[in-house]
Each structure stands twice: as C-alpha cells, then as structure tokens.
Structure 1
Amino acid sequence: MEVSELENMARSAAEEIAALSDAGELEQHRVKWLGGKGLVRRARASIKQYEGDERVEFARRVNRVAEDVTRVLEAAAERIAAEATARRIAEDWIDPSLPSTAPRRGALHPVRVVELRCVEIMGRLGFEQAEGPEVETSYFNFDALNIPRDHPARDMQDTFWVDEQRLLRTHTTSVQARVLARAGGKPVKVVVAGRVYRNEAVDATHLAMFHQLDGFWVDRGLTFAHFKGVAIHLARELYGERRVRLKPKSYPYTEPSVGIDVECGLCGGGGCPACHDSGWVTIMGAGMVHRNVLQEFGYDPDEFSGFAFGWGLSRMTTQMYGLSKLRPIYRGDLRLLRALDGRPALCV
C-alpha cells in the first residue's frame, strides 16, 4: 500500500466520520481503520517492504495517519454522545419549578428525642455521658450495687439470664458501677442512657425491653441539699414551673432514697391517662449513694458522698407526648410516629 493512497483515504474517512450521527456506524469506521484487520494495520505490515530512510519516513507517515484517524474518531464519539444526551433531555424534559416528589425524610424516634433532651440538660450541669454493655455480669448489675443474692430481682421470673454469671442488664445503674470501678477513687459526674430488660408480662404500661436514664455524682462534701437542688432543677427544665414533691422510697443502692413527682398538667375532668387522677406524676427515683456501694469501689464514705437518680425514658416519653399506653411507641407504626414528629415533647 502506498502512503499517498493511505493519506487520501484518511482524508475521505475524516469527512465521512464528521458527518456520522449513529454510534453503530462510527464503530464500523473504527474497525475499518483501527481494527485487527484494518487499513492502518495493513499499512504497518507494508513497512517491511521499504529500506533505510524510506522505511523510516513510511512508518512516520503511517503513524501520523493513525493518530489523525484516532483523533477524528474520538471527536465524533464525543459529539454523537452529546447529541444523544441532548435528545434524551429534550424527550424527557421536566419543569424544575414543579413541586418536588422526593420521599418523606425520616425523623428521630420520640424516645430518642426525650433522651437527647435529658442528656443535653444534664450536660449543662457538667454530667458526662457514659455507656456500658447490655449483656452484663451479675457483679456489676447486682453485687456491686448492694443488691443481695436473696433479692427478688435476681429471680429468673424478673431477669433474663444468659448463664449463671451473665444477664441482660435490668437497669442502667450497672454502668454507674463500671464507672466507679474505673474511677480509682476519684470524683465522677456521669449520665447514662440506654436499653434495659425485665422479664415482665407485657401490658399497656410494661414491656420486656425499655429505655432508662441514670445520673450520679460522687465527690467530697455532697449533701442531700445538693441532690435536691439538682433534682428540682431537672424536673423544672423538663416539665416547666410545676410543683415538685419528694416522697420516701427504698432502693438497695441509695440511702436515704426518694421518689420525685411533678404536678400533673393533664387533669381536667377525670380519667387522666398520665396520673390516673392522683394529680401527680412520678418521674424519677433517687437518693444518696449507699455507703456499701462507695466502699465497694474504694471510696471512704466518711470523706466521699454522692447522689444518684434515674428514670424510665420510655415512660417519660409517654408522659411528655400525652400517650396513655407504652407499647405503641415501640410498634414502629408510622402513623403514630408521623403524628408525633415535630410535636413539642411536653404534654404533662
């Protein structure tokens, strides 16, 4: 094949390719020129027919033809692709000013909303958040918290046991024990939130799994007056300027122990779902950390003192959203969750 013949053919091919508008025809031209049996390949096979400078010049001109054809093919491919895109846009044109049909975005679960609010309030008081395992040992869940072996909570009817030493934690107070064990006798100020498990019959107000929140503060010089100030502040931050009362309670890990109630805000004619017409809603159990718990973790109870408080986030969620039953908030019913989305979490 003569070089002049090849160059003339290449010029003609460039004109043909520039006029193409079909990707299939473009592929045919690529194979014709650059394929395994194409014209450029055949021209390169002819290089051996020449000698010396003629061979070098022939090879150079063949390579130039190959580069020119490649450039023309690439330009045509980009043009044809752009034209195809333009046609699709023209055929599938939409009005960007029309209202969006994007799917509805999700939202935080009501329990999570209340949890974040509680943690944020306590964070402003200097409480740091801590976490712990949900599969706990009997030591941290019971023994370290002054709960004796004959306590009803250790019975299989009340607790989900994994084996003789491990169980599904029955309260987030177990994390307090772990924090104190790591503290090495230093002051601690911690808030804990998470799931807990009780082997209870499921009804309108009880579930086998629910959420709790615990807070505790151990330091030198803390008194019941400090505890009362913090507890009342938390109650009013959560429920507004309502009356708060403290009533005697009994917990193994605190002494003295109290229950904290706030005045109900839903009463109005009987049948109140929040307080059952008592006029008060219980929101937390609390008290001064028991001497035995302090001693268990190396604190001198004559030098250190502390207080702890906790509440059921699940039950608080039903109170704050004005729900009479606990179970619906865990069913995943989108109708209820959408109804509560954006609704102020304070209805008690």
Structure 2
Amino acid sequence: MKVSELERMSRSAVSEISALSDAGKLEEYRVRWLGGKGLIRRARAAIKEHQGPERVEFAKGVNRVAEEITEVLARAADRIEDEATARRIAEDWIDPSLPATAPRRGAPHPVRVVELRCVEIMGRLGFEQAEGPEVETSYYNFDALNIPRDHPARDMQDTFWVDEQRLLRTHTTSVQARLLAQAEGRPVKVVVAGRVYRNEAVDATHLAMFHQLDGFWVDQGLTFAHLKGVAVHLARELYGDRRVRFKPKSYPYTEPSVGIDVECGLCHGSGCAACHESGWVTIMGAGMIHRNVLKEFGYDPDRVSGFAFGWGLSRMTTQMYGLAKLRPVYRGDLRLLRALDGRPALCV
C-alpha cells in the first residue's frame, strides 16, 4: 500500500463522512478506518515493509491520514448528536406558558384528623388547647398527680425512663399538673393532645407510642353531672347514636373514677378482635380530680372541684375509620393512608 493510495481513500472517506446523518453509519466508518482490523492498523503494520527515507515518509503519511480521519469522525459525531437533540426538542416541545400538572397533594394523618375534630368539639364547650413537653419530670408525671412511689406505673417495665428524674410522659395528664401549678388557684379549662409512651406489649389496640387527648376543668361548683354531660356530648358528637356506658374504674388522680365505653363500630356489640370479643370499646377514662391533687396546687377542695378525662386518639381513630388493628395506622403505608383519605373524615 502506498501513501498516495491511502490519502486518496481518505479524501473520499472525509467527503462521505461529512455527509452522514446516521450514527450507525458513522460507527461503520470508524470501525473501517480506526478499528482493530481497520485500514490505519493495516497501514501501520505495512511500515516495516519500507526502508530508509521511504519508511519515514510512509509513517508520516499514515499518521497524517489517521489524525485527519479521527478529527473528521469526531466532528461528525458532534454534529449528528446536535441534530438529534434539535429533533427531540422540536418533537417534544413544551409550551412553558401552559399550566403545569399539579403534584399530588398530601392530607392530614388520620390520627391528626380525629385530634382536630376532638379539639374542635371541646373548643365549642369553652376548653382552650394547651401543650406540654414529651420528656417530663417524675414530679409532674407522677408525684403531683397523687401517684405514689410504689405504684406499678412507675416501674421500669411500664415506663421509659431517661434518667432517675426524667421520663417519656405516660399520659398527657402531666400537662394538667403543669397548668394547675401555673394557675395559682384560678379556674382552668383546658384540653391537651399529644404523643405518650408506655412500655407495654403491642397488640391490635395497644402500641408503645400512641396519641392521647386529655381535658380537665377546675372551678367552683363542678359536680359529676358536669363530667357526665361533657363526656356524653363528646361521645355523641364523635360516634353518633352508638350506645354509651359508664363503668367504675380506679385512677390515682381522680375520685370517683369511671371508664366510658361505646359500642364497637365494627361488630355493633356482637364481639370481634378489635373489642376483644366484648362488644364495647373503652374510649375514655375520667373522674373528679382527687382532693390531694387540688391541695398540691393550692386549691381548697372544700370550695373548688374539678373533673378530668382522657382518651386514646389512636384507638379512637381505628374505631372511627373502621380498622380492626391499630398498628397499620402508624406504618406510613401510603396505600392505606390514601385509602383513608378517600373516606369520610369520621365514620360514625
């Protein structure tokens, strides 16, 4: 092979490559000229067939053709890519002045929906909403609420302790103690919602972390009739015409104490897993605030009385949305949350 022959072939190739508009054809030219068995490789292998000055000139000619072909191929590749990009832009052109597709909007968590509904109902009865810390002292969580040091609730197996004096609050009633301490003997009418923590076994209706709502009213002249009126009104607002019952209970910070049940909305009283086959679901614990608690914060129990009530928002959510178990609500499964978002806010 002579250099003149190689240069003639390269001029023809340059002309053809410059006219290409297909990336596949361009690759064929690259392999033909620069591939492992291409013309340039064969020409370089033929250098050894020449001697003296002729060998030098032949090698220079081969390198010159190789550089030219490489440069032409690179320019052609850039041009073909630019043309393809221009075609895509022309075909997929978007009018930026058109309204964009709106992203899917989120929705309040089902527990939050129930919480807001409960707070709204209590607000219409004159209760103000308050908040408190989730990491609480043993005084506000236990001591101030007439819970003695030997009470089972203070054991390690029932409470998450941070250190000897601090713990994850076991009920939102701890906020009641804080507010009564700040009230300095004045009337208080407050509702509190938030997360609480219990070191207990997980089942269909219990979790180690759940949401609770607590309300209390301290003033002169309050009786158990006021407590019953508020509790029944709340149950009717949330559960419609389901049956409501009161049963005796025992709480350290209230005396007398009651538990308030509503008829299970899943089985309508016949018994199922959600209600432990009883036909009833406890929605609220309540009672008249204990004399010792009132005394602790400077109230005269002979002149001032009060009542307190609390319920699990998480368990209430399962009942109101018709769910058999509590755990799925907290798993963050978007399929479930989107399905619940499509339901009525409260299923009574």
Q: TM-score, normalised by structure 2?
A: 0.71
Alignment match, 1:206: 206
Secondary structure at the counterpart of residue 282 of structure 2: strand
> Is 1:150 the counterpart of 2:150 in the alignment?
yes
Shift of 1:281: 2.0
Count of residues in Structure 1 that have an aligned counterpart in Structure 2: 262
Alignment match, 1:4: none
Alignment match, 2:307: 307
Note the residue ranges of structure 1 that are not aligned, 5 or more in a row.
1-87
Question: Where do 4+ consecutive residues of structure 1 move more than 3 Å?
Answer: 88-102, 268-271, 345-348
> Is 1:183 the counterpart of 2:183 in the alignment?
yes
Listed as ranges, the matches of 1:1-348 within 5 Å are 93-94=93-94, 101-267=101-267, 272-347=272-347
Note the residue ranges of structure 2 that are not aligned, 5 or more in a row.
1-87
Give 2:215's aligned amino acid.
G
For 1:72-98, what per-residue CA distance to the aligned partner results, in whole angstroms no more than 9, with x for missing partners? Answer: xxxxxxxxxxxxxxxx99875447999
Separation in 1, partners of 2:308, 2:330: 28
For 1:150-180, what per-residue CA distance to the aligned partner results, in whole angstroms no more than 9, with x for missing partners? Answer: 0011101111111111111000000000000
Separation in 2, partners of 1:89, 1:189: 65
Shift of 1:202: 2.7
Q: TM-score, normalised by structure 1?
A: 0.71
Q: Is the 8 A contact 1:266 1:347 kept in 2?
A: no
Separation in 1, partners of 2:269, 2:221: 47
Shift of 1:308: 0.4
Secondary structure at the counterpart of residue 332 of structure 1: coil
Shift of 1:221: 0.3
Give 1:289's aligned amino acid.
I
Q: Is the 8 A contact 1:258 1:285 kept in 2?
A: yes
Q: Is the 8 A contact 2:265 2:322 kept in 1?
A: no
Q: Is the 8 A contact 1:273 1:323 kept in 2?
A: no
Q: Is the 8 A contact 2:284 2:309 kept in 1?
A: yes
Shift of 1:236: 0.3
Over the matched positions of the two proteins, sequence identity in percent amounts to 92
Give 1:183's aligned amino acid.
A
Cα 1:249/1:268, change in 2 over 3 Å? closer
For 1:184-234, what per-residue CA distance to the aligned partner results, in whole angstroms no more than 9, with x for missing partners? Answer: 100000000000111123333221111100000000000011111111001
Cα 1:305/1:105, change in 2 over 3 Å? same
Aligned CA-pair RMSD: 2.4
Separation in 2, partners of 1:154, 1:269: 35
Q: Is the 8 A contact 2:269 2:279 kept in 1?
A: no
Cα 1:90/1:109, change in 2 over 3 Å? same
Q: Is the 8 A contact 2:258 2:285 kept in 1?
A: yes
